[in-house]
Structure formats: C-alpha cells, structure tokens
Structure 1
Amino acid sequence: MTTGFISYTHADTALKEQLVQHLAPLQREGLIDIWHDGMLRPGEHLDPAVQAALAASDLVILLLSAAFVASEYCYEQEMMRAFARQRDGTARVVSIFLRPCQWKGVPVGDGQTLSEFVALPKDGKPVISWPDADTAFDNAVGAIRDMLKADRARSARTTDARTLQPNTAISTPRPANASNLLGIAAKPTDLDRDRFLREGFQTTAALFEQKLAELKASDPRIDTDFERIDSRSFAASAYLDGKRVGQVSIWHGGDMWRNALCLSYDTATSTRNSMNDWLPIEDTPHGLAFGARNAMSHVRPDGPLDAAGAAAYFWDNFLDQVRSRIR
C-alpha cells in the first residue's frame, strides 16, 4: 500500500480536511494510507514526527497556495525535501493548487520550477475557482486514484512475470521418464525447499539493508541499524533523534518453523521460539512460493509470494511499525 503525506499550511486546514474526506474511498480500497500533522497526539514533538513521516512516505501531496509558498517551513522543510526525494527516485510528488497564486516560477531545486510538473485539479485550475470544492477535489483525487491503480497493476504484472521465472518460483526439473511424458510434474525436493527458503531470506536481508540506507539518507534526524546476526537471521532498527521507533528481527529455520520466513518485533536477540508473522513455503502450480494465507499483518497479500514479494511484505510491516510510533 502506498503511504501518502499531506503537506499544507494551517491557513488551508479547512480545505485539507475536505481533501482527506475525498481520499477516504482510496484508503478503504487499500490504495493509500494517508498521514498529516493533524494526526499527531498531544505531547508529541511536532518537527521530528513530521520529518520522519515525510521521509517514510511514498507519495507527497502538496496543497499549494500563496500562504504555502510564503511559509518557510512548508517550502523549505517539506516541499524542497519532497522534490529532492522525487529526484532520487524514492518518492513521488503531486501538487494540488488550492488558491490562485503566482506558482509557475517557484523553484523546486536542481534548476526546476513548479511549472515543469503536472498540476491538479485538471489544468492546474485552483480548487476555489471551480463551481464547488467537492467537484475540484473529486477531479484531483480521481487522477491520484488512476495513478495508484496503474501502479498496482504494473506491480502485479511484474510479480506475475517473476513467478513464472524458474529462478524466482522454483519449478523442479522433471525426470526423463514415463510420468513426465504424461505431464505429471515432479514434486519439489527438500533440497529445492532449502534453497528457495535461503533465497527468500537473502533477498529480504538485502532489501532491508538497502531500504534502511535510503531511510537514513532521507533526513538527518533519522538513523538506522542493520545487524547480520548469523547466516539465518538479521535485525533492523530505525531511530528518530536517537530514540528507537522501529525494531524487527527476521530469520528462517529452527525446530518450530523449519520451512518458513519468520518475523518478530521482539529484541534483536530473538530466541526464535515465538514470532509475530510468518510466510511458510507452499507448493503452487508454478513451483515453490511463500504462502500468505495465514499472514498476520492487517494488510494481506493477494496470493503466494516470490522472494521479492516476501521481502517487500516484511519491509512494509516494518515501516508500518515505524509510522505508528511517530504519529
């Protein structure tokens, strides 16, 4: 699921609340999970929480107006960082213009200006210039929905293509015998399962190491730690201003879950006798895969996962934990 961050000035709070209502159907569809500073709890430190949420977002929605551009915080700390992440390929920026203002020449870094990017609603016509705000927001959110649906379809096609590749979902070679001539596939062996499990673990460890580095580079307040405990387990942590806001250990093997990738939110020195989520190996018509039917996250995958899908599923769980602790 895409994580969205709404950047706005408090002068436009009423219009922001209308947008949040229009985004609700997309949230119920499981297309996006929205964050804005109105979700902060009393007593939370505003700036670190906002910056951590911005750094963890996939999509940044800018609600632009003259008040927004005039705000040093909105412009420097949110918009400029959002466009920097877009140039790095770690986030996407969508601009929704709320009120008329001279926005086209506003710099967004690297010699670019706002005029170089598609603006919402249609043709960059400000929300308050439409017959009513609901129609304007419906137009803008419809475009965002189409974008997210296209992203999901593209991701599904990529996953399906990977599933059909023998190096992703293993199809055991068939022996040259009579049963093969009848089209009866040979069953995967214990060796096949061991190798598939090891591939899934190594892919997950590599993704966590890469994503943690990206998360750390996204904001100076954020730090991360990756520890390879042994050949079958690793631990990952995220920190905001030195305070741990996320921790996970992932492993495979052991007596209780021999043929599964396991995740625990316990300490990095997990005893591996309990877990919070798991992806056991399953036989599928296309070969081996990680089954998600019993996955314990509130957002479950649609079907069996290859190594990359399992890694992404666990990373999304970890990010959900981080976000829940900074809100």
Structure 2
Amino acid sequence: MRDNTESRFHEEIRVTTLVFSYAHADEGLRNELEKHLSGLQRLGLIQTWHDRRIIAGQDFAAEIDSHFEAADVILLLISPDFIASEYCYNIEMTRALERHQRGEAVVIPVILRPCHWHALPFGKLLAATIDGKPVTHFPSWDDAFYQVAEAIKRAIATIAERAPATGGAPAALTTTVIPTATQTDMATAHAPRSSNLRIRRHFTDRDRDQARRDGYQSVSGYFETSLAELKERNPDIDIHFERTTTQAFEASIYVEGKRECHCGVWLGTSSIMGGDIGFSFGGVTPNSFNETISLTDDGYTMGFRPLGMAFYGAHSEALLTPEGAAEYLWSIFIRPLQP
C-alpha cells in the first residue's frame, strides 16, 4: 500500500521548481545532494536550478534574480562560507526569506557544515535534517541527504495542499515564464540532465597527508566534546580526556569511581599497523590495536574505511566522513555502557 503523501504526489500535475542557494566552496556537497534528488526529478515532481546552469551570454545577476523569484522551494545550503558570502547572505538569503514570509515560496535551511546559525534570520526555520545536524557530522552523506530529500517531499505536499484553499494554484505554483535571453536558453536551463556528473580525481600525497591529519583532529575533537556533553548530562559520572602527544589521546569514563570505558586513539602509519588511525582499549599502544581506520578513495572522493574487526561488525565498503569515522570509534568506546 503506497503512502498517502506519495499518492498525492502522483495526483499532482505541477512540477515544483527548486533553487539552490550555496557558496561555491560547497559545490561538491551540492552535487551530492542533487544526486539524491534524482528520484524526485525522475518522478517529474521537481526541477532544480543553480547558478552553474547559466550559459555564456546570459546576464548572471538577472538569471539568478529571475529563478529565485519563480522558485517554489529554495534550499539554503548553510556553511561558514555561505554566511561569509555577501552575495549568498545579503542578497539570495534576504530575497528567499522575503518570499517565504509572503507565502510565495518555502525556504528550507540545509546545514552542511558546523557553524553558528541559530541566531541568524533563517534560524527560526526548521532545518532539513533532524535537530539541524550538519551533513558532515553524519556517518555518511547518504544518511544526511536522505533526510533532506524527505524534507523536500514534505514541502512539496504542503505546497500542493495550498491550491484548493485558494480555489486554484497558489502563486508559487502558477506557471511562470522566466525572462531569459531566449526561449531556447530557458529550455536549456531546465532540460532534463544526468545526475552522474562526478569526474575522477587524482589525489596527491599532500592531499592524503592533510586528510589523515584532519581526520585525526576530527576524531580527537569529537571525543573531547562528546565526553564533556556526556558529563553535563550525567553529573554522577566522571570523565578524563588527555592528549598524550599532538597525535594521540586517551579517554576514560568512570561510573561510581570504576573505570567502565577506556581507550587510546592515535594517528598512525598504514604500512605499520594497517590503518591511519588506531584504536585500543589498552590506551595508546601503536604496536597493538583493537580497530583501525584507513584513508582511501573511490576515485572521486577521499574517505575513511574501518578494518571492521569481527567483534565490531562486518567490513563496509562505504566511505566515512571524518565525523563518521569519529562516531564509529566513539560507538566502540562507549559500548560497555550501552549493553
């Protein structure tokens, strides 16, 4: 039996227009998100647009203006770069919120990367992910963008429900002729296209070394802040976090004075221990470990992959973000308190 929301989708004949507002530094994340929206596009439910669709000879600012004015849904892809961008923040975001307040469009914030956003003008809007969790803090981007796609489906259903109340299509769903250079240009901008737009990349040794260091820093910061939050929520426990070197730390959790959880994590060398980040219940012990995580790539992007020791679960082919790797190791660390 199909869900009612999906049934309503197929009863609608209108296509919801969706525009991305984003900083170019986040283009890779935007591309991944658009790939996750391919299902809605193939069903004829949405058509997407962003500024990379502007073709040579068109007026850049005028094209952005016209598409933002005609959009039914506007996604604000929030990151430190978005907030720092004068154009994204002062022009695109301002215009989007004005249309949202008038009921002409639905604005959905998508928090891509951690940043201070709750007090900003769009902070009162419900973010696409649960509790506004940043996309990069999910175990994988797939998990995050699934939630974003679900939020967009709900927005489409909400927009569709407005039509009967007004005796016809709401302003945001009324067919609009977008002024562009020519009708041919307009057709080109909205024509169906492949979501398979990734191209293979060559990663240098410097890229890999930086990614390894960044990955370890993400893990150490994740453990430190998670321990602090755990202590705040459970005043009866004690915690300890110590950076034993610039490339290693140890963490402990005590319940009624008894050490229930303990581990060491360190930045290693793949050729020595079979991984780039090591984990051991015995503390920092580079020559022995209970789990390791290795930096690898799929030809398009770099990520981390656990060795997947039998005790912790099967080996996975999915690449983890640095935050996903941190959550994986944290889950192993805190397991004794979660029988």
TM value normalised by structure 2:
0.46
TM value normalised by structure 1:
0.47
